[in-house]
Structures are given as C-alpha cells and as structure tokens.
Amino acid sequence: MSNTTLRGKVWAAVTQAFKLPMALIRRMITTLINRVWMSTLPSPKMSAQTMVDCNRRKMVVGLGNPGMNGSRHSVGMAVLTTLAERLGAPDSWRSDRQVSGEVIVTQLQDIQLVVLRPKLLMNINGVSVAKAASKYLISPEHILLIHDELDKPLGKFGIKHGGSARGHNGVRSCVDWLHTDVMPRLRIGIGRPSGKMPVDRYVLGRFSQEEQNVLDSVMKQSVDVLLTFITDSQPQTSPAEGRRASRKNKSRTLSPPQDTTEEQKQS
C-alpha cells in the first residue's frame, strides 16, 4: 500500500470522526475511561457481621464538577455544604485519594453516614461513587445521589426512587459503575434555559443573585427532606430482585419507571 493511499485512509477516518455528534464522542471517551478504571475496583468479601453493619451504613453523594461552585450543574455539591452544617461537621471534610473525592464520616442516629463530594468531572462521578461504595461496603440501594434537574423549575425539588438517568450524565455514570439503577435521588430543580441558550452552557453557568435567594431556602428545605428520608426509609428494592446487572459481562439492567416521586415546592 502506497503512503499516499494510507494517508488518504487516515484522513478519511479523521474527517469521519469529526462528523460524529459531540455527545456521542463524549460518550465514547467516557466508556473508554470507565473500562480503564473498572479493573481497579476490589470485590471485598463480607462476613455475616459485616453484612449487618452495612445495613446501618448509608452514603449521600453530591454530583457536580469540582472547582465549579455556584454553577447550576454543581447544585448537588451545594446541598452537601448545607448538609454538613446541619450535621455539625462543616469543617470535617477530608481528602481521600482512595475514593477520588472528599468525605465526611459521621453518625446520624443509629446510621453511619458517609457524605461524598467527588473530585472528578461530572461525567465520571460514578468512578468516585463506586470506589467509596467499595471502601465503605455500602450497597447501591443505600446510596442517595443529589443532582440538578432541568425538568423541575427553580424552587422545586423531590425524591426519585431509582429508575433511569433521564439524560443526566452524572447519574448515568453512577448507574454504569454500580451496575444498577436502584439508587434514590434528590433532584434539585434548576429549570430549562430560555431562548436559544444551549443547555450545556446553561447548566455550567452560575445562578443569578435572584436565583440564589430562592436556592438558599431550597437548600434548607431539601436537607430536611433528605435527613427524614435517610433515617425513615427502607430500601425500595433488593438487588436480588433483578435490578443489578451481572458484573461478569459489565452490562446493566434498568428498572421500570416509577411514579412515586415525592415533591416539594418553595413557597
């Protein structure tokens, strides 16, 4: 094969790649990163006593992009700030390289609560979540994700009991990494952009002062709901009931949509 022909084929491949939608390219890159990281997760063996202890352990995760405090996409991390204050541990954050994030480990009634703030980009937040779940031996149904929600207007928030990621890349990463979608979520409404503003630009933008005033009250009320959910709720579905995918083939099984969303609105 001549050099000219080879260069032509390479150039054709490159130009074809640039024709792919950016969303698909990002998805391909994320999948590649996931495969690289996947082999690093240990599979700890648990004794009967450890299993009992694990049922008293839960984790709350604020999804977002590190270093982008105040942005709509990182509102899940903002909720953690209010949560840490309510738990009396605002200065207890510690960096943990083993989980690629910052954590607070505290006691809430008879529950050992792990609060996780990933230090990875939103699209691979699931890496941090899976590492923390493995280290602290927390099952997916005891992991609550907090994230922004485009389909709820600012001032509204609600609990969703598992189900699909609904287009949220941070949630999708967690579903991919934990091989299940049973994780409950606290969805904080940010609304959709007005006019022709692209969604990606909107979610990465910061709240206006007026929006921040609304959000401050939402933070307090959502943490009230969150703490009640953590201390009162029972697992919605056991992984044994079919929602966990086989680790052998790295696939996942999605649960059917549920309409049990508990919703609050800021008055």
Average pLDDT over residues 34-40: 57
Chain mean pLDDT for the chain: 80
Looking at per-residue pLDDT, the higher value among 33 and 170 belongs to 170
Q: Is 48 helix (H, G, I), strand (E, B) or coil?
A: helix
The amino acid that residue 169 corresponds to is N
Residue 167 burial (C-beta neighbours within 10 Å; 0-12, 13-18, 19+): exposed
Four-way CATH pick for 48-231: 3.30.70.100, 3.40.50.1470, 3.20.20.70, 3.40.50.300: 3.40.50.1470
The pLDDT value given to residue 195: 86
The pLDDT value given to residue 99: 96
- Are 181 and 165 in contact by the 8 Å Cβ rule? The answer is yes
Q: Lowest-pLDDT range, 122-131, 232-241, 253-262?
A: 253-262
- 124: which residues sit within 8 A by CB, 6+ positions away? 30, 33, 34, 37, 173
Looking at per-residue pLDDT, the higher value among 194 and 22 belongs to 194
The pLDDT value given to residue 247: 38
The pLDDT value given to residue 242: 31
On the question of pLDDT at 29 being above 70, the answer is no
Question: 184-235, pLDDT tens digit by residue?
Answer: 999 999 999 988 899 989 999 999 999 999 999 999 999 999 999 999 855 4
On the question of pLDDT at 256 being above 60, the answer is no
On the question of pLDDT at 67 being above 60, the answer is yes
The pLDDT value given to residue 241: 33
- The ranges assigned to domains in the chain are 48-231
- Are 191 and 155 in contact by the 8 Å Cβ rule? The answer is no
Q: Lowest-pLDDT range, 20-29, 124-133, 165-174, 216-225?
A: 20-29
The pLDDT value given to residue 164: 87
Q: Which residues pair with 146 in a beta bridge?
A: 62, 186
The b-or-e profile of 22-35 (16+ CB within 10 A means b, else e) is eeeeeeeebeebbe
Estimate the share of the chain in helix, then strand, then coil, as percent rounded to the nearest 5.
45, 20, 35
The pLDDT value given to residue 238: 36
Q: Lowest-pLDDT range, 93-107, 149-163, 223-237?
A: 223-237
On the question of pLDDT at 53 being above 80, the answer is no
Which residues are annotated as catalytic?
A: 73
The pLDDT value given to residue 234: 52
Q: Lowest-pLDDT range, 69-73, 151-155, 247-251?
A: 247-251
Looking at per-residue pLDDT, the higher value among 243 and 89 belongs to 89
